[in-house]
């Protein structure tokens, strides 16, 4: 399974002014750096939890159709499934409608059960496009606080670690905030 982030329209869930206020930074000469640290903090929170903090679109590509027809969507909370495309042996794409698959939700996790018509047509793979993420301003406050802690720590380490390698350290306080949101695997 390959997950591709197709992006979204909104800004970051943590505002630059909020981070600067929280870190007590009054100058503006490092705003570009702080903006990059906000982005990397969000990406870290999302990677650790599987949650999407702002609405975005994704594509899941599967080389082969799942034997049992089930495909668990790797990002949550799910907003909608926008398309299911099967590729036949010749590489021809066939778009399927909502009658050809069933969406199942368990809490905030989601999976799609492909119908027989989709499985029969998908001899050369499947692509599922979906939208996931919290609405603007609806991301849990503890995840935003974790972002602040991660970005602030990265800011303090800015002279020791290059911006493209941040965050170099996830502080223990941020890990504790992320713990309840991590997916449980059995």
Residue 109: predicted pLDDT: 76
Asked if residue 4 is part of any domain, the answer here is: no
Same-domain check for residues 41 and 60: no
Same-domain check for residues 63 and 89: yes
Residue 104: predicted pLDDT: 87
Same-domain check for residues 45 and 62: no
Same-domain check for residues 72 and 49: no
**pTM attached to this predicted model:** 0.85
Same-domain check for residues 83 and 106: yes
Query: Which range of residues forms the domain containing residue 114?
Result: 56-132
Same-domain check for residues 44 and 24: yes
Q: Say if residue 186's pLDDT is above 70.
A: no
Same-domain check for residues 92 and 111: yes
Asked if residue 164 is part of any domain, the answer here is: yes
Asked if residue 5 is part of any domain, the answer here is: no
Q: For 103-151, how does the pLDDT look when each residue is reduced to its tens digit (9 = 90+)?
A: 888 766 788 999 999 999 999 999 999 999 999 889 999 999 999 999 9
Q: Say if residue 83's pLDDT is above 90.
A: yes
Asked if residue 153 is part of any domain, the answer here is: yes
Same-domain check for residues 45 and 61: no
Q: Say if residue 184's pLDDT is above 80.
A: no
Same-domain check for residues 117 and 25: no
Asked if residue 3 is part of any domain, the answer here is: no
CB atoms inside a 10 Å sphere around CB 36: 16
Residue of 69, 67, 30 lying closest to 158 (CA atoms): 30
Asked if residue 176 is part of any domain, the answer here is: yes
Asked if residue 74 is part of any domain, the answer here is: yes
**CB-count exposure of residue 88 (10 Å: 0-12, 13-18, 19+):** middle
CB atoms inside a 10 Å sphere around CB 142: 15
Q: For 21-44, how does the pLDDT look when each residue is reduced to its tens digit (9 = 90+)?
A: 999 999 999 999 999 999 999 999
Give the mean pLDDT of the chain.
Answer: 91
How many structural domains does the chain have? 2
Q: Which residues contact 24 (CB under 8 A, 6 or more apart)?
A: none
Same-domain check for residues 46 and 76: no
Asked if residue 173 is part of any domain, the answer here is: yes
Q: Say if residue 16's pLDDT is above 90.
A: yes
Same-domain check for residues 173 and 117: no
Same-domain check for residues 40 and 61: no
């Amino acid at each position: 399974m390959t997950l591709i982030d197709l992006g979204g329209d909104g800004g970051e869930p943590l505002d630059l002014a909020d981070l600067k206020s929280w870190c007590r930074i009054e100058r503006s000469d490092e705003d570009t750096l702080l903006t990059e640290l906000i982005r990397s903090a969000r990406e870290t929170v999302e990677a650790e939890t599987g949650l999407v903090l702002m609405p975005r679109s994704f594509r899941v590509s599967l080389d082969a159709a799942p034997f049992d027809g089930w495909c668990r969507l790797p990002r949550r909370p799910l907003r909608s499934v926008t398309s299911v495309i099967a590729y036949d042996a010749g590489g021809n794409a066939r778009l399927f409608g909502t009658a050809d698959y069933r969406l199942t939700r368990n809490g905030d996790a989601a999976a799609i059960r492909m119908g027989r018509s989709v499985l029969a047509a998908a001899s050369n793979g499947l692509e599922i496009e979906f939208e996931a993420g919290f609405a603007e301003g609806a991301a849990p406050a503890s995840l935003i606080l974790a972002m602040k802690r991660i970005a602030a720590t990265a800011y303090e380490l800015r002279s020791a670690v290059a911006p493209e390698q941040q965050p170099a350290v996830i502080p223990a306080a941020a890990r504790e905030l992320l713990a309840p949101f991590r997916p449980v695997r059995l």
